[in-house]
Amino acid sequence: MRLLVPRKGFKLEGKIRGIYVLHKKKKGRDKYEVVYIGRSEANVGSRLHDHSRSKKLRRKWDHFSVYEVHNNISDEEIRELETFILFIYRKDPRVNPENDLKSSKKFWAIKRVPLGS
């Protein structure tokens, strides 16, 4: 189950660290398009506020999802998680993310092991 929060009037309590996804509801349907995937090592609410004022993104999203991480997750691990999620979405024709897949030395260092090895 995906929890979608309407952008209008949102207020996140406290400083949440983690991944967030911006969505746009398709007209006349209960379906949502992924517009942007981002991260915050400090405060997701602040990043959402920035995106609501951004010339590039402010009209492109109307809902969001937040995936909070535990305190024992490092900032580097949050960046790796964002890269992993972007990698999953990179060729999905159902989404149109506004952000580019950023490079991650640790992520790309993972070797593909053939099945049956």
What average pLDDT does the segment 36-50 reach? 93
Residue 106, pLDDT > 80, answer no
Residue 96 C-alpha from the chain's centroid: 12
Mean pLDDT of the chain: 81
**7, 115, 1, 113: which is closest to 67 by C-alpha?**
1
Note the CATH number of domain 5-108: 3.40.1440
- Containing 79, the helix (H) or strand (E) segment is helix 75-89
Residue 117, pLDDT > 70, answer no
Q: What is the pTM of this model?
A: 0.78
